[in-house]
């Protein structure tokens, strides 16, 4: 008979403790410990061993076929740039970003573009099929919706696998990893154990069936992917969709890529018809700049493999308080403090009595 015991798992960092703690000793988060009931199954001698395949055998590296290295063409050029030139068959990609930044919109556009040549299954745990179609109609304009794009609203991972075996898609999109769950686990969807196990099974699916899997992930208030840190180690590529919600520009940034360069950036503009590529970001960021305006300067920043020209605005104002304020938007706060200290020390500017404001136009982070 299986034995059961209780443990408490931090939903921020995955720390496991035997008793409840109001503050996690590892990450310092408050009220993040969630109770989980663990069933210890008896070990059987004839039991199967979990792995990517049912059986494995060592082979010479020269005997292994390399046909899978051919990438699948992605019509969205900026997206393909960030991935390293296209979609690698059998890869699993994690896309994260703030709520409302455009993650679902970007992957819906990619699904419709890829459905012209591939069979695509879009699994949503957050929206109904009717809501997804409404977005697809808005993004597709007057064009006919692709027949190879299949939609399903489901959160049970076992049921999703049944749909995959029936449909046999070439591309799978899951929105989002925090909503799917395994029924044989007692913890709720979005918990550390559920996110870890669901991601592991999706990885096994991608590697064994050669299906490319795209997974949307929520982020915490600190800007990191919600769930265990091991989630980013499980997947092959980690992408972040960044930008100011009140600005029209979005940046798709690669922070991990096993099949291409990291730190590559794709630039998009949010419009009524969805996210449109910005092939010349420098022109877009400098389009509204006033010539010879006071407090405005042009800086060159390297984003991935291409330089981008951006406008940086600076303003000082006499402080009304005892301590002067330093406000940075798009620039690292510590860098602003360093520049302020250098100007005060070397240039003789009395910035200790001035509030300093620095802004990067377009919502870009440099």
User: Which of 42-51, 168-177, 340-349, 356-365 has the least mean pLDDT?
Assistant: 42-51
Contacts of 165 (CB under 8 A, 6+ apart): none
Nearest to 340 by CA among 319, 316, 323: 316
pLDDT tens, 351-360?
Answer: 988 999 999 9
How far apart are the C-alpha atoms of 264 and 281, rounded to whole Å? 14
pLDDT, residue 41, reads 61
Q: What is the average pLDDT across 79-108?
A: 92
Confidence of residue 49 (pLDDT cuts 50, 70, 90): very low
Confidence of residue 113 (pLDDT cuts 50, 70, 90): very high
Quote the mean pLDDT of the chain. 86
Q: What is the average pLDDT across 178-196?
A: 86
29 pLDDT more than 60: yes
pLDDT, residue 111, reads 94
Contacts of 101 (CB under 8 A, 6+ apart): 241, 242, 243, 245, 250
How far apart are the C-alpha atoms of 187 and 193, rounded to whole Å? 7
pLDDT, residue 48, reads 47
Q: What is the average pLDDT across 189-196?
A: 85
223 pLDDT more than 80: no
How far apart are the C-alpha atoms of 278 and 296, rounded to whole Å? 23
* 53-67, 204-218, 257-271: which is most confident: 204-218
Confidence of residue 2 (pLDDT cuts 50, 70, 90): low
pLDDT tens, 292-351?
Answer: 889 999 999 888 788 899 999 999 999 888 889 999 998 999 999 999 999 999 998 889
Radius of gyration of the chain (CA): 24
Instruction: Show the CA angle centred on residue 226, arms to residues 224 and 231, nearest 5°.
Output: 90
Q: What is the average pLDDT across 126-143?
A: 89
DSSP class of residue 225? B
pTM: 0.82
Handedness of CA 133, 137, 140, 143 (dihedral sign): positive
């Amino acid at each position: 008979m299986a034995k059961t015991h209780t443990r408490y798992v931090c939903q921020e960092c995955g720390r496991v403790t035997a008793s409840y703690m109001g503050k996690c000793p590892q990450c310092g988060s408050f009220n993040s410990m969630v109770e989980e009931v663990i069933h210890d199954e008896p070990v059987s001698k004839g039991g199967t061993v979990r792995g990517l395949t049912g059986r494995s055998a060592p082979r010479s590296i020269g005997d292994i076929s390399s046909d899978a290295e051919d990438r699948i063409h992605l019509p969205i050029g900026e997206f393909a740039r960030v991935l390293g030139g296209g979609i690698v068959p059998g890869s699993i990609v994690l896309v994260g970003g703030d709520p409302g930044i455009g993650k679902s919109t970007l992957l819906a556009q990619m699904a419709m573009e890829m459905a012209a040549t591939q069979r695509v299954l879009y699994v949503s745990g957050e929206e109904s099929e009717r809501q997804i179609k409404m977005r697809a109609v808005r993004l597709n304009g007057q064009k006919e919706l692709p027949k190879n794009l299949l939609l399903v609203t489901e959160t049970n991972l076992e049921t999703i696998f049944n749909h995959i075996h029936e449909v046999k898609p070439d591309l799978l999109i899951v929105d989002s990893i925090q909503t799917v769950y395994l029924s044989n686990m007692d913890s709720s969807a979005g918990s550390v154990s559920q996110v870890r196990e669901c991601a592991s099974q999706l990885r096994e699916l991608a590697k064994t069936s050669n299906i490319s899997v795209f997974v949307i992930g929520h982020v915490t208030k600190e800007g990191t992917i919600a769930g265990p840190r091991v989630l980013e180690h499980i997947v092959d590529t980690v992408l972040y969709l960044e930008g100011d919600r009140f600005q029209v520009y979005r940046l798709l940034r690669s922070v991990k890529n096993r099949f291409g360069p990291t730190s590559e950036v794709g630039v998009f503009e949010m419009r009524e018809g969805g996210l449109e590529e910005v092939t010349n970001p420098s022109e877009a960021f400098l389009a509204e700049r006033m010539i010879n305006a006071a407090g405005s300067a042009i800086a060159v920043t390297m984003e991935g493999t291409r330089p981008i020209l951006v406008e940086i605005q600076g303003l000082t104002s006499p402080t009304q308080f005892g301590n002067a304020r330093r406000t940075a938007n798009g620039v690292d706060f510590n860098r602003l403090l360093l520049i302020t200290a250098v100007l005060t020390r070397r240039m003789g500017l009395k910035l200790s009595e001035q509030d300093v404001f620095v802004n990067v136009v377009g919502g870009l982070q440099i």
